[in-house]
Amino acid sequence: MGFLNEAKHLIKSNIRDYGMYIALFVIMLTFAIMTDGLFISSRNISNLLDSAGYIAVLAVGMTLVIVIRHIDLSVGFVAGFLGAVAAIFLTQMGLSVWIVIPIVLVFGIIIGLFNGFLVAKIGIPSFVATLAGMLIFRGALLNVTESTGTIIVNDDLFNALGNGFIPSLMEVNGLHLLSLIVGLIGIVLYIYSELSNRRNKVKYGFEVISPQIFIFKLVFVSFIIGYITWVLAGYNGFSWTVVIMLLIVVIYHFLTTKTVLGRNIYAVGSNPEAAHLSGINVTKITLIVFGSMGMLAALSGILFTARLQSATTTAGTLFELDAIAAAYVGGVSSAGGVGKVTGAIIGAIVMASLSSGMNLLGVGISYQYMIRGAVLAAAVIFDVMTRKQRA
Q: What percentage of the chain exceeds 70 in pLDDT?
A: 94
Q: What's the mean pLDDT in 11-25?
A: 71
* pLDDT bracket for residue 387 (50, 70, 90): low
Mean pLDDT calculated for residue range 26-30: 89
Q: What amino acid occupies position 23?
A: A
pLDDT > 80? residue 2: no
Q: What is the pLDDT of residue 389?
A: 63
pLDDT of residue 103: 97
Q: How large is the average pLDDT for residues 182-189?
A: 91
Whether the per-residue pLDDT at 110 is higher than 90: the answer is: yes
End-to-end Cα distance, the chain: 27
- pLDDT tops 70 at residue 390: no
pLDDT at 342: 87
pTM: 0.91
Interval 158-184: pLDDT, tens: 999 999 998 877 777 778 888 899 999
**Model confidence at 11, in pLDDT bands (50, 70, 90)?**
low
pLDDT digits (tens, 9 = 90+) for 40-59: 888 899 899 998 999 999 99
Q: What is the pLDDT of residue 197?
A: 85
pLDDT tens per residue, range 240-268: 999 999 999 999 999 998 899 999 999 99
Q: Could you tell me where the DSSP H helices lie in the chain?
A: 3-13, 15-34, 42-67, 75-91, 97-117, 126-145, 156-163, 177-203, 211-233, 240-258, 260-270, 272-277, 282-308, 319-329, 341-360, 365-390
Residue 151: strand pairing partners: 311
